[in-house]
Amino acid sequence: METRKGIPVSPGIAIREAMILDTEEIHIPQRFIESERVEAEAARYEEGVRAAEQSLQREIERMGGDRGINAQILEIHKTLLGDPVLKNEILSLIRQKQYTAEHAVARTMSRYIKKFEVMDSPIIAERVHDLYDIEKLLLSTLLGSRLDTMQELDREVVVIAHNLTPAQAAKLDSKWVRGFAMDVGGKTSHTAIMARALGIPAVVALEEISTAVIAGDTVIIDGFRGLVIVDPDDATLRDYRAREANVHKVARRLRKETTLPSETIDGHRVELQANVELPQEVHAAMALGAAGIGLLRTEFIHFQKPRGGEAWHLQHYQRVLKEVGDRPVTIRTLDLGGDKGLERAEDQREENPFLGCRSIRYCFANPELFREQLRAILRASMFGRVKIMFPMVGSVGDVERAVGFFEQVKEELRQNGEQFDTEIPVGVMVEVPSLAITADQVARHVQFFSIGTNDLVQYTLAVDRGNEHVAALYDPVHPAVLRLLAASLAAGDRAGIEVSICGEMASERLYIPLLIGLGYRRLSVSPPMIPEVRRIVRSIQVYDAVRLAAQCSGLADGMEIAALLRSWARDYLPDTGW
C-alpha cells in the first residue's frame, strides 16, 4: 500500500481500478496469471517484442531513402525494444511474480521512467520520451483486439494522468470515470473545475502519481483530504468503503432538500445559480434547485468542435435555454488561453499565457471567432432569458470595445432580418484587479458584475493557480482579496446593478458565511455543491455572518482568517461536518 498527498479539488471518495491516461489511455485488463501459464506468457511477450520490432522496421522501410530524424528515432526504439537487460527484467517479472506480459511491461517501464526523470543529463531526459513510446507500442501490440481506451469504457474507473487538457476533460464521462488524480494542477485549474462540475472526486499536485500507479491497480481517491492510496490493504479498503457509502447517504439526504427555499434563518434570500461547462450538466443543476445558470462556460463547447462556428454554438445555447425554461442563463464569451490551452505555432507560444493573449484579448485578436459567438448568443436570446458576460476585462476601454463588437453584430443581424432580444443585459467578470479597483467607473457601462474569484485571487497575489509549486500561496481569504470583494460589491450597489460571485470561492463551504456577511446575496456554484451550499445558507443568521465578516476584515493574515472561519463554523454550523 502506498499513500500520496496532494491538493483536494473536488470532494468525495472513489474506489476503483486505475486507468492511466498517459499510457495512451490504454487499460490493462488482467495483472496475474496461473503458474502453469507462465512459460506461455513469456513466449507471448517475446512474440510481442518481435511483432513490435517488425512494425517499426516496416515503418522505417516505408520512409525509403529518407534517413532523417524520424527514422533515427524509430531505430532507437527498435534498439530499446531488443535491449537484453530490459527484456530479462520483464521476463523475470512474468516468471517470478506471475505477472501478465502487459503488467510486467508497465511495471518495468515505469521503474525506468522514474529513474531517468530524476537525472540531470538532458540527453538521458530525452530518452524518457522514447521509453513512453515503446511502452505504448508494446502494450498496444500485446493487447491487440483487447485494446481498451477512454472512448470504449464499459466499467467504472479512476483516471490517473500527468495532466488533463480541457479537451480531454471534456471527454470524461461521469458514468464510467468516478474520479481522477493528476501530477500537476491547482485548486482552481480548469480541469479541477471540470471535476467539481461532474461531481467526481479529484486530487491534483501529486507530482509523480502517473508513474507510481499501474493500469489495473486498485486506487482510492479521497477528494476530502487530498489522498490517493494505491493498492490499499484490506483494513483500509473496508474503512474507505464505509466512508464512500456514508458520502452517498449524505448526498441523498441533501438532494431531498432541493425544494426548500435558499434563505437564512432570519429570512434573507440568497439566490443560488449554477456554473456549468456543458449543456448535459444543466438538467442536474435544475433538478438540484438552481435558480438559473449564473455562468455558462463556453470553452468546452468550442473544444468539442473548434471549427463548428455560429451554428454549433447556437445549437448548444438553445439546448441549455430549453432545459432552463424561464430562468436566466448568463453566457460567458470564450475564455480561451491560460490553463485552457490554445494550439499555437512555435513562434507564437507565450512564456506566461495567463498574462498574455487570452480571454477577451484573444477574442479581440480573432474578431471573426468573436462575432460568430456573439451572433449565436443574440440568436439564442429568442429562446429564453439570456445575459451576456465578457471575461478578463481590465478597464472601461475593454468594456467599450467589447460592447462595440456586440452592437456591430446586432446591426448585422437587423440588416439580415434576424430576430433577437434587443435588451440583453451586458455584464463583466470582475477578475482583474484593475477592474475591481475601478469598479465604480465600470459599473456605469454595464448591467451586472460577476466576481470571478479564481483569477482575481491569482492576479491579486501573483500566484499561478495551476502551478502546484506555489499552490500553498493561493489564498482566497487574503486581506487584499477580501477588500476587492467588498469594494466591487459596494460599487455595484451604488450603481444599482446586480452583483454576484461565480468563482469557485462560492462553492467552498468554509467561505459561504463570510461571503454572506460581506453582503453577497447571489452565488453561482458547481451543480453538485448546490444542496450543501443551500444547507449552509439555511443554517446561519445574517447578523452573525456580518459580525464574522467584520472580524475577518480586521485581520492581517489569510491563515488567521481561515482559522477564524473554521472556528466559527464549528460553533455555528455543528451539523455540517467541521
Active site residues: 190, 502
Distances (CA, A) of 369 to 81, 150, 337, 386: 46, 30, 14, 20
243, 250, 253 from 246: Cα distances, Å? 5, 6, 11
- 427 in Cβ contact with 386 (< 8 Å): no
Whole-angstrom Cα distance, residue 209 to residue 5?
Answer: 10
If you compute the radius of gyration of the chain from its CA atoms, what whole number of angstroms results? 26
- The three cell numbers locating residue 402: 467589447
- The answer to whether the beta carbons of residues 113 and 211 sit under 8 Å apart is yes
Distance separating alpha carbons of residues 480 and 236, to the nearest angstrom? 42
Of 442, 367, 368, whose CA–CA distance to 398 is shortest? Answer: 442
Distances (CA, A) of 488 to 44, 311, 349, 434: 66, 36, 34, 11
Q: Any idea which residue has 534517413 for its cell?
A: 67
How far is it, in rounded angstroms, from Cα 175 to Cα 178? 7
Q: Closest Cα partner for 391 from 442, 431, 436, 425?
A: 431
Specify burial of residue 439 (Cβ count, 10 A radius: 0-12, 13-18, 19+): buried
Kindly state the cell numbers that stand for 11. 470532494
Residue in 576, 573, 563 with CA at minimum distance from that of residue 541: 573
Strands in 392-497 per DSSP E:
426-430, 448-451
Q: Hey, what's the cell of 359?
A: 480571454
Q: Are 452 and 503 in contact (CB under 8 A)?
A: yes
Rounded CA gap, 358 and 351, in Å? 13
| Contact of 568 with 548, CB cutoff 8 Å | yes
**Sheet holding 227-230: strands in order across?**
2-5, 227-230, 218-222, 13-20, 157-161, 177-182, 202-204, 7-10
Instruction: Note whether 374 and 401 are within 8 A (CB).
Output: no
Q: Which residues, 6 or more positions from 523, have their beta carbon under 8 angstroms from its beta carbon?
A: 270, 271, 272, 273, 294, 500, 501, 506, 512, 515, 533
Contact 1, 233 (CB under 8 A): yes
Terminal-to-terminal C-alpha distance of the chain: 29
Which grid coordinates belong to 408?
456591430
Residue 531: what are its φ and ψ, rounded to 5°? -60, -40
